[in-house]
Amino acid sequence: MRATAEASDRAAVVQPVYRQIVLELERRRLAIGISMERLSEVAGIADRAYSKYLHSGTLSGRMAQWRTLQCLADALYPDGLDIRIVPRKGPRLDDILLRHQVRTAAALNDRKHARAWMSEIGRRASAANRSAGRKALGRRRLRQIAKLAARARWRDAGTTAAPAAGASTC
């Protein structure tokens, strides 16, 4: 019971400003193509600490100190950086894509999450391909494909009475 309360308390402690800073650092890390371990090494922070800072809302996550965030920023932006605060009205596509990239990167380290995440991506892609395919192929071609598939099913079932070539199965 206590672990559940601690997990919910920790999730509430992570402030949006901190989360945005860490997500910007992650966006830069992904753009450069540097691994989390290499970033930890270059920034001079503990091994595997960066992933804990990135996922600070989880049970094993940690919040970085400002000094540590500065070390990470110095490593990712060697020429320095400027920070702007811009109001937003809703989630932007960049934020959604970044969350997707972060979730994909996190899934690569954990088989259970990787399987669930890749399954979700597959469902989304197949739904998009089906709708795009229907529009691109047209009704007549889709009907021909369905007839060919029905004939193949009859053939694979091993029955002798397959439907005639002109018979409709749909």
Residue-wise pLDDT for 81-112, tens only, equals: 888 887 767 666 666 677 777 777 776 677 77
Instruction: Tell whether the torsion through CA atoms of 128, 132, 134 and 135 is positive or negative.
Output: positive
Task: Retrieve residue 93's tokens.
Answer: 């596509």
In the chain, where the domains are located = 2-109
Read off the pLDDT of residues 123-149 as tens digits, 9 standing for 90 and up: 877 777 777 666 677 778 778 888 888
Residue environment code for 18-31, b if the CB has 16+ CB neighbours within 10 A, otherwise e:
beebbbbbbbbbee
